[in-house]
Amino acid sequence: MRRWQLESGRVSDIIKSKKLYEDLVEFHWRYYSELAFQRRRIREELNSSLRNAAAGFQFSRWQRVVKYKYSLDPLSAKGSLSDPGGRFNVGAIDPTRYPMFPALYLAADKATALAEVLGRDKDRGSLTPEELALTKPDSISAVSVSGRLDAVVDIRMSGNLSAFVNLIKSFRLSKPLTVEARRLGFPLQLITTVAELKPVLMVANWRNWPMLYDVPAGGQIFGGVAVDAGIEGIVYGSVLTGKECLAMFPQNFLNSSAYVELDDPAPSDDVRTRIDSTNFAEFT
């Protein structure tokens, strides 16, 4: 009988791997904490940099795709709070360390909305992200929505990020953390230009940080600053299709004329069809 060896190893290797992983998790917590402290010191300046870059934004017949269990409440943002959250909002990573906040995600067309929700990978072979999304067996619902926001930051425009980067480019890391990074073989990156910030916000595998290291990804941190600044949404390009997407923060609708509503009649009177300043708390 022929035998096949699938893999081999020693118990000591398992112990070393576990210790290395624990060291990496601890390192990322310290890495996050050092930068979070520096952000807190200039909180008002950071907030002002985004408020000054914000502008009104109107959209018509955009698409919202949700998992089937949210079909009767398609405008609710509560699903975004599940671990690890979304690209620009923090979910249940570790609520004792990182406060959760929701976001409502929309896309300019249905193909992009499907790809963002179901198509997690870039093109494979001859399949596009949209086609990959259609191969997923998940039950979903798609609705058409329109709305208007008063304060949105479009991160596709470099000028909207310049003041923000000018504030964080002077951040520094402690020598012990730098030494630990070299020991672990982890490359430290401090943002000094808009060109360096954009890939951090739009990295395809942003989930690696919260899922592997229990810390928010760069986009989630940026989203937290935006919410703190009172920004109602972030416009960005899908990494899967390149089309427009919007991460909306209904919790900032207070004292605002912002709204989003379903374009088509709801299947029953129980379905909530509009978010605005009078009811935003019910959706978050």
Domain residue ranges in the chain: 12-283
pLDDT in tens, 109-154: 999 999 898 865 554 555 565 556 555 667 788 999 999 999 999 9
If we measure between CA atoms, which residue out of 136, 151, 162 comes closest to residue 65? 136
Q: Identify the helix (H) or strand (E) that includes residue 237.
A: strand 233-237
Are the C-beta atoms of residues 114 and 142 closer than 8 Å to each other? yes
CB neighbour list of residue 172: distance below 8 Å, 6 or more residues apart: 38, 190
pLDDT band at 4 (very low <50, low <70, confident <90, very high): low
- pLDDT given for residue 67 in this prediction: 85
If we measure between CA atoms, which residue out of 154, 156, 159, 145 comes closest to residue 56? 154
| Least confident span in 15-19, 116-120, 257-261 | 15-19
Q: How far apart are CA 64 and CA 79, in angstroms?
A: 13
pLDDT-above-70 percentage for the chain? 87
| Res 208 pLDDT > 70 | yes
CA atoms within 13 A on the CB side of 261: 12
If we measure between CA atoms, which residue out of 283, 277, 258 comes closest to residue 148? 258
